[in-house]
Amino acid sequence: MPLSLKEFFERNPDIKVIVYAGKGGLGKTTCSAATAYWFAKNGKRPLCFSTDPQASLSDIFERDLFGKGVQELIPNLFVVEIDADKRIAEFQEEVRRKIKEMYGLDKIPEEIDEYIRTSAYEPAMHESATYDAMADLVASGQYDPYIFDMPPFGHGVRMISMAQILDAWIEKIEETRRKAAEYAAAAATLRGITAETEDAVLKDLREIREKLDFFRRILTNPKTCAFFMVLIPEKMAILDTKRALDMFEKLGIKLSGVIVNQVYPPQLLDRPDLSQFLRRRIEMQQRYMKVIKEELGEYVRAVVPMFDREPKGLEMIAKVAEHLFEKPGLEVIE
């Protein structure tokens, strides 16, 4: 019998970061909110985090949270919805300030400013800002666990590769800096840059690197970070989950589990008044539940039923949490 979600956390008490990933619209935000709720009710201090511009946490918790900083919704349940665009703008301002400081300028040359402005439109910039915001929150160490609700476009897997890419990138800059330093003294005086400003840049880079390193170590250690895929009993979602499993394997990471969501209660099939339409849908789902059991069975940590309405508000979130943590998982498939 695979471990249930509750058993998984009992056996992995050092998990600091929890990530729900998966295709759009299957239940990442729903599971993230319910997980945060469950931990808050069970003596922890969870923070649920999102950068989804759709403000999906505001939607599910029925509170305006977007860009408002960390909010405590009920005792010990913390939620923050980061405005990534605002964060990028702040970051650009910081770059401008540094350039002006370093080169003693009053105004950024137009060409450079255009470069800084257009960088905001690169998707990687959005991801970096998200990643950086997460790293900051985790480095603060104020919450436990951190639950990251991935945006629809963001594949959780990318987060891990992001850590590796950023790391390689900073390494490159540092190396270039070191090499340059060997003969830069003369050139620097020519350009009017002192060794002190060079040192300051290196120090900045080192600090960024330490923060990212710390975060990366947490993310890539299965004892401290849990990755779950949310899927529904349908073909595309199963395929996508299997693809993610492969990608994880290539990165040398083990998936912590899968959550099967939006499952129509199969007991409904016993009701003679059940419509043909619903009967067919339930039968289809049950066929895919068998496939999930065969191909992903060892990963299934919970099965969450399809509710008769959207699970929103604390009362419904509590219900989802109950199914995620307090009900048997795979047995439902039998």
Ligand X SMILES: Nc1ncnc2c1ncn2[C@@H]1O[C@H](COP(=O)(O)OP(=O)(O)OP(=O)(O)O)[C@@H](O)[C@H]1O
Judged by DSSP in three states, 155 sits in coil
Q: Which of 28, 126, 155, 301 binds ligand X (CB under 6 A)?
A: 28
Residue 147 is classified by DSSP as E
139 touches ligand X by CB under 6 A? no
Amino acid 211 reads K
Q: How far is the CB of 254 from ligand X (least distance, A)?
A: 22
Q: Which of 3, 4, 18, 30 binds ligand X (CB under 6 A)?
A: 30
> What is d(CA 304, CA 259) in angstroms, rounded to the nearest whole number?
8
- Cα separation values, 307 from 48, 265, 334, Å: 22, 9, 20
> Mind giving me the DSSP string for 268-300?
GGG-TT--HHHHHHHHHHHHHHHHHHHHHGGGE
25 touches ligand X by CB under 6 A? yes
| Chain residues 183-222 in contact with ligand X, contact rule CB under 6 A | none
Cβ closest to ligand X, residue 294 vs residue 308 = 308
Q: Which of 47, 48, 304, 332 binds ligand X (CB under 6 A)?
A: 304
241 touches Mg ion by CB under 5 A? no
Cβ closest to ligand X, residue 56 vs residue 128 = 56
Helix (H) or strand (E) holding 332: none
261 touches ligand X by CB under 6 A? yes
| Chain residues 20-49 in contact with Mg ion, contact rule CB under 5 A | 28-29
Q: Give yes or no for a contact between 69 and 80, defined as CB atoms under 8 angstroms apart.
A: yes
Q: Which of 11, 13, 24, 183 binds ligand X (CB under 6 A)?
A: 24
Cβ closest to Mg ion, residue 28 vs residue 301 = 28
For 206-214, which contacts have Cβ atoms below 8 Å and span 24 or more sequence positions? 206/174, 208/170, 209/167, 209/170, 209/174, 211/135, 211/136, 211/139, 212/135, 212/163, 212/166, 212/167, 212/170, 213/167, 214/135, 214/138, 214/139
Taking CB under 6 A as the binding criterion, the range among 23-31, 105-113, 194-202, 289-297 that sits at the site for ligand X is 23-31
51 touches Mg ion by CB under 5 A? no
Cβ closest to ligand X, residue 146 vs residue 209 = 146
Residues that bind Mg ion (CB under 5 A): 28-29, 56
Residues that bind ligand X (CB under 6 A): 24-30, 52, 56, 152, 261-262, 304, 306-307, 310-311
